[in-house]
Amino acid sequence: MDYENILSRKVQDLQFSGIRKFFDIAASYDDVISLSVGEPDFKTPWAIRKEAIRVLEKGRTNYTANAGLADLRIAINDYINDRLHVSYDPLHEILVTVGGSEAIDLAIRALIDTGDEVLIPQPSFVCYGPIVTLANGTPVAIETSVENGFKLTAEALKAHITPKTKALVLPYPNNPTGAVMRKSDLEAIAEVIRGTDIIVISDEIYSELTYGDEEHCSIVEIDGMKERTVLINGFSKAFSMTGWRLGFAAGPAPIVTQMLKIHQYGIMCSPTMSQYAAVTALKDCKKDIEYMRGEYDMRRRLIVKGFNEMGLDCFEPEGAFYIFPSIRKTGLSSQEFCEQLIEKHRVAVVPGDAFGKCGEGYIRVSYAYSLQHIKTALERIRLFLEDLGVL
Amino acid sequence: MTKKEKLVDLLRQDARLSNEQLAAMLDTSADDVAAMIAELEKSGMIIGYTAIINEEEFDRNSVCAFIEVRVSPEIQCGYDDVAAVIAQYDEVSSVYLMSGGYDLAVTIKGTNLRDVAMFVTDRLAPLGGVLSTTTHFILHRYKEKDKMFLKNTDERSLVSP
């Protein structure tokens, strides 16, 4: 059969993510030390696992309501209220999804008609552009740079707004740069958005992993922004629950209602056992989150110091669990750097250009690993730089 | 957690972290770390640094045993004297006073089964105050000092989003 003629042109033209490509390369070597994962090394806290076991024992294995368990939506609202001091109607403004990724997909599909533009600050996670393309929209990259701490600035935002602009993705704390938007940064963005019909899709999956004295701030906390924002978060990173596939969206009822329609046809409901366990996560696991954040913070300082000492200048990340050092001084491209590093010294890191063109010249390094693992990897990278003659 | 508690926790995880690395993680200076460590050592809270060896890999012939020792306590010094005598032998790697059905838990290391057996029968059992011993040989190690002997416990894929 001629599958090329059968399959959707749009889908065939879509590229596999650069992360995925690099996974294939890394998997072809033995004894690789990886600093490439985007998931916590901690196991899901025991209280959460225990609740899932209890629920299974009780035989609670049916569908839940499409939008998710009422108890969970109420707990999500309490959680948002506790962290952001903003309230939603749990029954009409909160939707439980299969990971944050599904929530992003739903929000974009609910908003976008053919030709609508979606603004996407880059470097950023790989899913936004392809989802917009699949919805027949046009992804528009807004490049951020180290000079601005990889933050989105009001000027850059203004320069990219057109009459077709429908939505702005706000991916902070950021994967891969570790950049965060503080309250004053968000106020400047809100100032630009408030006078328009642009909807903000705020992907705050790393919100619990914000370091320093200032707490995470969401754009929904800024005056006039809640009514024009779909807030997205989930359990994967904060609670170390990647495999449970659970996230949520909170936003204005008219938007969430349309998202629910797509979710109802495509998914039915999020995994039932995960939903019950998530109620426990939100109610009983604040201490676990704090412990994990403390551990990440120490590793963050260790690895930033390690890279800066090796002369790979590293912007100080304030969120997530990645650093994004520049590798320009090696004279190699991001792809070349990563391929040679894994080939010669068996360390896997992800090329920065996987996260947008402006990620060229950088690498994404994850510190969701034990101290010993990080130290060994740093030693290998040092040897690589010595081989290259830049150290 | 105080800074000192965090420092101890990090040293428990990895005593080979340099003072500079510890300082970066604790957001302080290397001098401060050196001073805290000196204080911990001086006060006897840190009594030494050692490597955790996978004995099964390092020396396939070595044998370790865990011995339950029942002791008759002495009027003046309780269990301390007997424990001190047992602890001084090079073969003995740990001695604990226990609650429950026996009194001292002793781990010993030898180059073969016979070594260990001889140590128990010739040295340990005849000691004054020792009422009885029960010897358990260690067959396999899974975890020691918070470290797993199992390989590849990280089930995450090499690269992920």
**Chain B residues within 8 A of A34 when measuring between CB atoms:** 158-159
Smallest Cα–Cα separation from A119: which of A56, A188, A200, A191?
A200
Residues in chain B whose Cβ is within 8 Å of chain A: 1, 6, 10, 13-14, 17, 20-21, 24-27, 154, 156-161
**Are A39 and A53 within one domain?**
no
pLDDT at residue A385, as a whole number: 97
**Domain edge (last residue) among A254, A284, A314:** A284
Encode A132-196 in three state secondary structure. Answer: HHHCCCEEEEEECCHHHCCCCCHHHHHHHCCCCEEEEEECCCCCCCCCCCCHHHHHHHHHHHCCC
Cβ-defined contact of B159 to A301 (cutoff 8 Å): no
Q: State the pLDDT confidence band at A296, using cuts at 50, 70 and 90.
A: very high
pTM over 0.90: yes
pLDDT at residue A10, as a whole number: 95
Task: Report the pLDDT averaged over residues A298-326.
Answer: 95
What rounded mean pLDDT belongs to chain A? 96
**Are A192 and A179 within one domain?**
yes
Query: What's the maximum distance between 2 C-alpha atoms anywhere in chain A?
Result: 62
**Chain A residues within 8 A of B28 when measuring between CB atoms:** none
What residues does each domain of chain B span? 3-42, 55-139
Cβ-defined contact of A36 to B160 (cutoff 8 Å): yes
Number of folded domains that form chain A: 2
CATH number for A316: 3.90.1150.10
Q: Which domain holds residue A189?
A: 46-284
- Lowest average pLDDT, out of A13-22, A59-68, A303-312, goes to A13-22
**Are A295 and A383 within one domain?**
yes
Angle at CA B148, nearest 5°, toward B142 and B151?
Answer: 95
pLDDT at residue A26, as a whole number: 86
Cα-Cα-Cα-Cα dihedral sign, residues A26, A31, A37, A43: positive
| Environment class of B114 (CB within 10 Å of its CB; exposed 0-12, middle 13-18, buried 19+) | exposed
**Number of Cβ within a 10 Å radius of residue A280:** 20
**Are A320 and A358 within one domain?**
yes
**Are A346 and A335 within one domain?**
yes
CATH number for A217: 3.40.640.10
- The one-letter amino acid at A37: V
pLDDT at residue A169, as a whole number: 98
Give the 3-state secondary structure of residue B158: coil
**Domain edge (last residue) among A253, A284, A315:** A284
**Domain edge (last residue) among A240, A268, A284:** A284
Task: Report the pLDDT averaged over residues B80-86.
Answer: 94
Cβ-defined contact of B17 to A375 (cutoff 8 Å): yes
Q: What is the DSSP letter of A269?
A: S
**Are A308 and A366 within one domain?**
yes
**Are A33 and A152 within one domain?**
no
- For residue B155, give the chain A residue with the closest CA: A41
pLDDT at residue A83, as a whole number: 97
**Are A155 and A110 within one domain?**
yes
For residue B146 the two structure tokens come to 């918070």
- Rounded to an integer, what distance in angstroms lies between the CA atom of residue B64 and that of residue A84? 56
Smallest Cα–Cα separation from A373: which of A339, A352, A347?
A347
**Are A106 and A142 within one domain?**
yes
ipTM over 0.95: no
Work out whether strand A322-323 and strand A347-348 pair parallel, antiparallel, or are unpaired. unpaired
Cβ-defined contact of A37 to B157 (cutoff 8 Å): yes
- CATH fold for domain B55-139: Alpha-Beta Plaits (3.30.70)
**Are A157 and A252 within one domain?**
yes
- For residue A349, give the chain B residue with the closest CA: B159
**Are A169 and A260 within one domain?**
yes
CATH architecture observed for domain B3-42? Orthogonal Bundle (1.10)
**Are A321 and A252 within one domain?**
no
Q: State the pLDDT confidence band at A217, using cuts at 50, 70 and 90.
A: very high
pLDDT at residue B75, as a whole number: 79
Checking if the pLDDT of B160 tops 90, the result is no
Checking if the pLDDT of A350 tops 90, the result is yes
Half-sphere exposure of B17 (CA within 13 A, CB side): 32
Beta strands in chain B (DSSP E): 63-71, 92-97, 104-110, 130-137, 143-144, 147-148
pLDDT at residue B1, as a whole number: 87
